Structure 1
Amino acid sequence: MQNTAWPVLWAVMWVVAVDLAVGGSWDGEYHRTQPFDGFFSPPHVFIYTLAAVAMVLVAVLNLRPVLRNRFGPDLALPWPVPVLGDRHPGALLLLTGGMAGIALAGPADAVWHTSFGLDETNWSFPHAMLGCSLALISIGFWSCRLALTGHRPMWSATRYLLGYLTVLACAVFMGPLQNYPTREFASAAGSSGALGVNPDVQHLVRIVTQANLTHTSPAYVLVAAAWAGLALGFLRAVDVRARYWFVVAVLVGLSLTSTAGAEAQRYGFEADQRVTSGLPLLTAALVLALPRPRALGPRYLLAGAAFGLHTFLVWGVAVAPAWFALAACVAPALMLGGASAGTWAYRVLAAPARRATLALIAIAVLVVPALTGAVDLVLRTLIP
């Protein structure tokens, strides 16, 4: 039955990957070009249909004992859970927790769009839960795949793809700070096509521009440094060799930079280096790859310093140099803290233990969405 468990797990990963790549791109372009027609737009139907397919495949792994037992030892649950029972393999718990988060976020997203239309940042509770659940699904797939490694070696391509998906999914923590390089860019994006005549989108633009939820905000340095540390700490825990984690960081950087470049051309910002500049993640990864110092902690601190300097020179000098300089000074500590969190997450998925596994699921599905959702609601209240 090992040969059956592996193809089902592989199918889950590819369904999720296609859902992200095709559904995500289609959804953004559809809303930009078509008037808002409710939650059940064609891209939303596509996205949630593929999500349902992935959930069915995960249910097969959970419901068939001969498959479920291939994913490592059972962990005791705090109370009996429908379908899962009172004991379940930790690796499958992580994957199933991510799928449960998607199942909960879907109806919440429908209610939000019905009530507020497109007036929603990536920090809103439904969007944050969707993003964090996707990150947990990537982590759960890692854990399930490692549980099967004793029976079938993991291909290098799988490791690179999983690292890429996990790092991109974790970028949800940055919310609108990642999406908008400058206030001018946010205003132009909100005026494009069907978005320009949508009052809900115009409220979103006011929130972004008045609160300055862009790269030109010192808050971007702090949040992005923590994300970069999380990404590099996780990838380096997967494989200490720079040829793995540095390549994945480059792939993520190229992906995000190419997207930014395409949007810069669309909105007429090709000459603005604040929009087209490469990600400071790559600068931090390059410094981390240096052989000295040998101790890992100081290397993360140096990578954080390089990250802070990059953001200061590109976005901070002309806007708020004093505040940016202060934020850049804090960036090394946040880089180190993020790296510690990323290393911890990998340790949990590599050898799931009861408390750590349940804690990781709760953090991803409930805690982070609740915190960012609270920030989103405060911003909506303060900026009418």
Structure 2
Amino acid sequence: MNDLTYTPAADENQEPDAYLPLHTMSYRRRNEPRSVKWAYGLFWFTFVLFFVGTGSGKLWDRIWHATRRFDTFWSPPHFFVFVVTASTGALVAILALTPSLRIWFGPSVRLPRIPFRVPAALLILGSGLALLCITIILDNFWHSAFGLDETQWSMPHDMLGWCWFTIIFGFAACRIAFRHYRPLSWFTNIVIAVLVIEFMCPPMLGPFYLNYSPHLLHALANLPVVRTEPDAQHMYRIYLNHGLTRQTCPLFIPQVAFFAGAALALLRCMDRRLRIFLVAPLCWTCFIATRNLYTLMLLHYHGASHPLDILAVAWHEPSIWVPAPLLVAAVAFELCRRCGLRNQVCYIICGVVFSCCTFAIWHTTFWMILLVPPAIGTMLIGARIGSWFYSMLSQPTPDKLATFLLIFCAQIPTFQGVIDLILRRTTP
């Protein structure tokens, strides 16, 4: 069978592969061309290379900064992440440039000055990787031009977060494009959902992603190597003087409600089955809580050096490790939906529940309860953004991708980069 003519039936009334009898699916698998297997295998190799390489590089980077002075941008962890990103981009380029491989990645689009049509899913993935390489170089320039005391609102740091989210979005779009040949299992759906939530959170929350409380910032600022770095000390003074923590900043509750609305809407669009809609937030919550508790042990927070010490500290200070109550919001939304309420009403009630739980975990003064009404509004806006994200995931087009890159990878980081520079210039 010719690889270039083997395509799945495009009839909308055709029975989905996920519901076909097992013997039919086995027959298809035995008779499919070798290029499908190569494309699918190379896709997973690319994903593992990027995810494992970037994850280990970021962990290495944290340990490096916690134990060594930051004297050059091109430290071994930074250089390692850049090489992994460039290698992943080269593999994606191979997939896009090889006709027998790219035809399996879903609908294609025509691009200016390119003589062949490019799969939209690969276009999202390749754009994220290319922009990430550019952003890493921009980060080096930003450090050189404005110093090393940049916050998480600096232009390159915010762009890095959105680039990683774009890349994960591209991987998810590629895997969804393969559903005609490799049906999506419930486990795969959960993995995709958890990855999308996790990589959406840092750029949407900015400094609040890691700045849980002033106590935690003081612990980080008093690490032996950090105490000797003036730029790092200035960065922590910016956070502490301006109260840029979950406990002290009035922006946090509305901003995290925006993230929750986008995450819930995206999850609902990706898979409405209860075991996906609730298990994905549960897995994300367990992952974040475990990671935060491990971080406290690494910091020897309040002298904690083994797990039993950490449990005692965590019991008394939930504000320094408890994740955003996304699971509670998902349960509230599902209960409202089962009561027959409209989606918008479900999000309003969900916004009240979520913001009240957030207030209970991180508030320092009672007046912060007044942030609940604006948080309801930001959750509704976030839900619309999450639905739009899914439209780009399921039916990607160059226009949608260009809009996403312009707004989230350029305009928002530029605006927040101005805020970062103002904070750095006005904080002694």
Give TM-score scaled by structure 2 length: 0.83
Task: Check the 8 A contact 2:54/2:84 in 1, yes or no.
Answer: no
1:313 aligns with 360
2:87 aligns with 53
Q: Which amino acid aligns with 1:349?
A: L
Instruction: Check 1:242–1:368 CA distance in 2 against 1; reply closer, same or farther (3 A cut).
Output: farther
Helix, strand or coil for the counterpart of 1:149? helix
Helix, strand or coil for the counterpart of 1:240? coil
Q: What number of residue pairs does the alignment pair up? A: 377
CA drift at 1:118: 4.2
1:25 aligns with 59
Moved more, 338-347 or 279-288: 279-288
Task: Check the 8 A contact 2:213/2:319 in 1, yes or no.
Answer: yes
Q: Which amino acid aligns with 1:131?
A: G
Tell whether 2:308 aligns with 1:274: no
Instruction: Check 1:86–1:5 CA distance in 2 against 1; reply closer, same or farther (3 A cut).
Output: closer
Tell whether 2:381 aligns with 1:337: yes
Instruction: Check 1:258–1:222 CA distance in 2 against 1; reply closer, same or farther (3 A cut).
Output: same
Picking from 231, 234, 237, the partner of 1:200 is 231
Task: Check the 8 A contact 1:98/1:365 in 2, yes or no.
Answer: no
Segments of 5+ residues of structure 2 without an aligned counterpart are 1-34, 303-312
- Moved >3 Å (runs of 4+): 84-87, 113-118
- C-alpha offsets along residues 219-250 of structure 1, whole Å, 9 cap, x if unaligned? 11011111111111111111011211221111
Instruction: Check 1:121–1:341 CA distance in 2 against 1; reply closer, same or farther (3 A cut).
Output: same
Residues 75-90 of structure 1 mapped to structure 2, 5 A cutoff: 75-77=109-111, 79-80=112-113, 87-90=117-120
Helix, strand or coil for the counterpart of 1:104? helix
1:72 aligns with 106
Q: Take 1:99 and 1:373, find their aligned partners in 2: how far apart are those partners?
A: 21
Q: Which amino acid aligns with 2:245?
A: T
Residues 49-198 of structure 1 mapped to structure 2, 5 A cutoff: 49-77=83-111, 79-80=112-113, 87-115=117-145, 118-172=148-202, 173-198=204-229
Tell whether 2:272 aligns with 1:228: no
Helix, strand or coil for the counterpart of 2:243? coil
Instruction: Check 1:156–1:11 CA distance in 2 against 1; reply closer, same or farther (3 A cut).
Output: farther
Tell whether 2:350 aligns with 1:303: yes
2:8 aligns with none
1:12 aligns with 46
Aligned CA RMSD, in angstroms, stands at 2.0
Q: Take 2:89 and 2:254, find their aligned partners in 1: how far apart are those partners?
A: 35
Picking from 71, 76, 79, the partner of 1:37 is 71
Instruction: Check 1:367–1:339 CA distance in 2 against 1; reply closer, same or farther (3 A cut).
Output: same
Moved more, 328-337 or 133-142: 328-337
Task: Check the 8 A contact 1:23/1:46 in 2, yes or no.
Answer: yes
Bigger-Rg structure (1/2): 2
Moved more, 285-294 or 219-228: 285-294
CA drift at 1:293: 4.2
- C-alpha offsets along residues 93-131 of structure 1, whole Å, 9 cap, x if unaligned? 111111111111110122233455642222211111111
CA drift at 1:56: 1.2
Percent identity (aligned): 31
